[in-house]
Amino acid sequence: MFFHYGAMNSGKTIDILKVAHNYEEQNKSVIIMTSGLDDRDEIGYVSSRIGLRRQALPIFAETNICDVVKKENPGAACVLIDEAQFLQKHHVLEIAKIVDELNIPVMTYGLKNDFRNELFEGSKYLLLYADKIVEIKTICWFCNKKALMNMRVANGKPVYEGEQIEIGGNEAYYPVCRKHYFHPDLSQLK
């Protein structure tokens, strides 16, 4: 089990699409899944900001990921999961079962922390159970330092409190370094 994490705009989804392409170019099948919560484009699709998109199986709270893999393609060469921060603990344990019992590698991609700088449930358990953890880096919106955090913005101002999950893209979230998380240059916001 792999957990690839990065701040917003770090290229996580494009990585999934690239990995899927590489497997399929060798005539190896993949299963692509994503959170059913993410409806920015359409439920059941992974979409990158550069315009590439692909159909995926949606994961909901009641979804048993291991059962889905067994039903869809138990001979898949790889399972790829986008928006992994929205997984629940039982989903992560089901992924471990896919890896350990079905011998299918699972690569998950998602955010580590939310706009309040708290771990998401899925990220917490992926950090605990993953065989390999990989950071996908991007730069701060305001400077050239590495982005560590995701800043939520509403009405041109940073938001530090509220519901953990609020689906959004570039209009609502910015990748930022620690300094600019606490002291953003609001003149640079879109």
What is the sign of the dihedral through the CA atoms of 38, 40, 41 and 47? negative
Measuring CA to CA, which residue among 69, 57, 146 is closest to residue 100? 69
Measuring CA to CA, which residue among 170, 159, 138 is closest to residue 40? 170
What is the sign of the dihedral through the CA atoms of 22, 25, 31 and 35? positive
User: Do residues 177 and 146 lie in contact, with contact meaning Cβ atoms separated by under 8 Å?
Assistant: yes
User: Do residues 136 and 6 lie in contact, with contact meaning Cβ atoms separated by under 8 Å?
Assistant: yes
3-class secondary-structure state, position 115: coil
3-class secondary-structure state, position 127: helix
Choosing from 72, 83, 94, 163, which is the catalytic residue?
A: 83
22: which residues sit within 8 A by CB, 6+ positions away? none
What is the DSSP-derived secondary structure letter of residue 131?
A: S
Does residue 83 have an active-site annotation?
A: yes
User: Do residues 173 and 151 lie in contact, with contact meaning Cβ atoms separated by under 8 Å?
Assistant: yes
What is the set of active-site residues?
83
